[in-house]
Amino acid sequence: MAKQTAGRDNLGDFAPQFAALNDDVLFGEVWDKEEQLSARDRSLITVASLLTQGVPQLEAHLNIAKQNGVTKEEIVEVITHLAFYTGWPKAWSAFSLAQEIFTED
């Protein structure tokens, strides 16, 4: 995975410690532990978690999932499966984002 700088880019001046934790720990140390769990699998788990929460970070992580090799078919299956556990409106919202991201190219 490419070195993450979103924390520092967006919050570096305002919340430097949070930015460093985001970039260096979460997206550095945690995401880099590929011998335990691949980036692709981490993406599937993260997308599932964010979908259940209905948070805006889902869009960024759908893009990351695509970069990490998650397919459109897998994303559709994850969203469909979670619709029954997390709620139909969240699934609709997730499908809107996924459709934009996975039909680009």
The count of domains in the chain is 2
Q: Are residues 9 and 27 in the same domain?
A: yes
State the pTM of this model. 0.86
Q: What is the DSSP letter of 56?
A: T
CA–CA distance, 9 with 17 (Å, rounded to integer): 13
| Four-point Cα dihedral 42, 100, 79, 84, nearest 10 | 150
Provide the domain limits for residue 98: 37-102
- What does the chain come to in residues? 105
Predicted confidence at residue 34, as pLDDT, reads 86
Indicate whether 105 pLDDT > 80.
Answer: no
- What CATH number does residue 81 fall under? 1.20.1290.10
Predicted confidence at residue 1, as pLDDT, reads 57
Predicted confidence at residue 98, as pLDDT, reads 97
Q: Are residues 46 and 19 in the same domain?
A: no
